[in-house]
Structure 1
Amino acid sequence: MNNILTLNNIIFSYEVDQPEVKNAVEDVSFTVTEGEWIAIVGHNGSGKSTIARIINGLLFPQSGDVTVFGKLMNEDNLWSIRTELGMVFQNPDNQFVGATVQDDVAFALENNGVPYEDMVARVHQSLAQVKMEQFLNHEPQHLSGGQKQRVAIAGALALRPKLLILDEATSMLDPQGRQEVLDIVRKLRDDTGLTVLSITHDLEEAILADRILFMNQGRKFAEGQPSEIFALGDELVELGLDLPFSMKMAKMLQEKGIQLDGTHMSDEELVENLWISNFKK
């Protein structure tokens, strides 16, 4: 598999002239390979959003380097690298610039000089990918939160990125909107092999990833598959993260003496394991 992204010994401080102030990111290294879904999780102030800004070139580290698509990121190639990145941010309302949904999706394509006929085709294709093609001429402000974020994802997909970055993209949505967005991203990843990097504090979202990086106080505290990270259990809670509902419920059931075997990271797994362990004959 090709390496899409590599961070090598990254150090970043917002207070360079104050060495006594702790670095926002301290000696962080990791690699994302083509087709992976990686989740970077951590409490507020853990360094995960700073890492997102470094990956997108909004910040440059004081030490270490970032390699994207085989290119060592610098000020000379930053803009060409960004054309291959898709970014979806926290607040969908802050991302809209067009009067209609199709105008908004086309905005970045126009700025990149995409020919009109190709641009129209990309707008329709990307909106179809997120199941929003019937909203072409709708005004964005009249959409639900989940629909707005799906349009934001369509705008990123229209650029045909090699890497889609979700920076707390579901944190302001209600449960239904959040599920809509995650279902769309999961289907896109499964259907197209899109590489996804999600920055989140929500472990329910992180469950979907192939691999999780757990940040704490600017450092990479742990890295592994979701089952390996969630095995930390109460340690995650102590460091400011909330366990998924299914894991909290499983713990309560076990404390009441109810037997549970296997994993229970999702509601479906919990129900199945509860049935197999206690009721199936």
Structure 2
Amino acid sequence: MREILTLNNVTFTYAPEDSSIKNAIEDVSFSVQEGEWIAIVGHNGSGKSTIARLINGLIFPQNGTVEVIGEPLNEDNLWNSRSQIGMVFQNPDNQFVGATVQDDVAFALENNGVLHEEMVKRVREALKQVNMDGFLNHEPSHLSGGQKQRVAIAGALALQPRMLILDEATSMLDPQGRQEVLSIVRELREKAGLTVLSITHDLEEAMMADRLLFMNGGKKFAEGTPSEIFAMGDQLVELGLDLPFALKLGKLLQKNGVNLSGEPMTEEELVNDLWISNFKN
């Protein structure tokens, strides 16, 4: 698989002239392969948002390199690199600029000089991909939180990016809106092979990833599958990261004498394990 994104020994501080200020991230390296879903998790101040800004070229590292599709990111290729990456941010209301849904999705295309006929086609296709094609002429302010984020995703998809970055994109949504957005992203990933990088506090979102990067104090503390990372258990809790509900409940049940064959990470896995271990026969 081809590498879409690579960080090589990246260090960044917001006050390089002040040696007393701690680095926001320090000597961080990781790569994202085409078609992967990677989640970056960690407590507030761990460096997650700084990584998002570095990837999008809003800031540049003091040391190390950020590479997009094999090219080191710099001021000369910044706009071309940004065209390869779609960003969806935390607050959908801060992203809307159009009077209608279709106007908003078309905004970035207009800025990139896409011809009108092609623009109309892309807008409709992108909204269809997120199940919002029936809302073309609706005002964004009248949509639910989940619908707004789906429109924001459509705006990113219309640019036909190689990778979609979700920067705390579900953190302000209610459970239904969060589920809507995550289901759409999972479907896009499965059907279109979209590469996804999610920066998140949401454990349900993190559990969908192929691989987790756990950031702590600006450094990459651990990297592995969701099962491998959450198997660290109390060590993660001590560092400010919660554990999945199903895993915590499973441990509590085992402590109280309930048979389980493993350590289920999702509610579905927990229910299946309970059934097989205690009721099937």
Q: Would you say same fold, with TM above 0.5?
A: yes
Letter in 2 for 1:97: V
1:244 paired residue number: 244
Q: CA deviation at 1:83?
A: 1.1
Unaligned runs of 5+ in 2: none
Q: How far apart are the structure 1 equivalents of 2:80 and 2:56?
A: 11
1:279 paired residue number: 279
SS in 2 for 1:28: strand
Q: For 1:25-52, what per-residue CA distance to the aligned partner results, in whole angstroms no more than 9, with x for missing partners?
A: 0100001110000000000000011001
Q: How far apart are the structure 2 equivalents of 1:237 and 1:146?
A: 29
Q: For 1:238-273, what per-residue CA distance to the aligned partner results, in whole angstroms no more than 9, with x for missing partners?
A: 111121111111111111111111341111000000
Q: How far apart are the structure 2 equivalents of 1:17 and 1:145?
A: 41
SS in 2 for 1:201: coil
- Report matched runs for 1:103-252 at 5 Å: 103-252=103-252
Q: How far apart are the structure 2 equivalents of 1:263 and 1:117?
A: 53
Deviates more, 1:132-141 or 1:252-261: 252-261
2:90 paired residue number: 90
Flag as ranges the 4+ runs of structure 1 deviating above 4 A.
none
2:39 paired residue number: 39
Contact 1:43 1:216 in 2 (8 A): yes
Q: CA deviation at 1:10?
A: 0.4
SS in 2 for 1:65: strand
Q: How far apart are the structure 1 equivalents of 2:219 and 2:203?
A: 18
SS in 2 for 1:196: strand
Contact 1:10 1:27 in 2 (8 A): yes
Q: How far apart are the structure 2 equivalents of 1:174 and 1:261?
A: 33
Letter in 1 for 2:20: E
- Report matched runs for 1:254-273 at 5 Å: 254-273=254-273
2:53 paired residue number: 53
Q: How far apart are the structure 1 equivalents of 2:254 and 2:106?
A: 52
SS in 1 for 2:235: helix
SS in 1 for 2:11: strand
Q: How far apart are the structure 2 equivalents of 1:18 and 1:255?
A: 50
Q: How far apart are the structure 2 equivalents of 1:204 and 1:42?
A: 14
Q: For 1:86-127, what per-residue CA distance to the aligned partner results, in whole angstroms no more than 9, with x for missing partners?
A: 000000000000000000000000000000000000000000
Q: How far apart are the structure 1 equivalents of 2:3 and 2:212?
A: 17
Q: How far apart are the structure 2 equivalents of 1:158 and 1:114?
A: 11
Q: How far apart are the structure 2 equivalents of 1:123 and 1:225?
A: 35
- TM-score normalised according to structure 2 size: 0.99
SS in 2 for 1:254: helix
Contact 2:251 2:263 in 1 (8 A): no
Letter in 1 for 2:142: H
Contact 1:202 1:242 in 2 (8 A): no
SS in 2 for 1:60: coil
1:69 paired residue number: 69
Letter in 1 for 2:272: E
Contact 1:264 1:270 in 2 (8 A): yes
Q: How far apart are the structure 2 equivalents of 1:240 and 1:177?
A: 25
Contact 1:28 1:220 in 2 (8 A): yes
Deviates more, 1:184-193 or 1:245-254: 245-254
Q: How far apart are the structure 1 equivalents of 2:20 and 2:97?
A: 41
Q: How far apart are the structure 2 equivalents of 1:175 and 1:99?
A: 27
SS in 1 for 2:198: strand
Q: How far apart are the structure 1 equivalents of 2:248 and 2:99?
A: 44
Q: CA deviation at 1:130?
A: 0.3
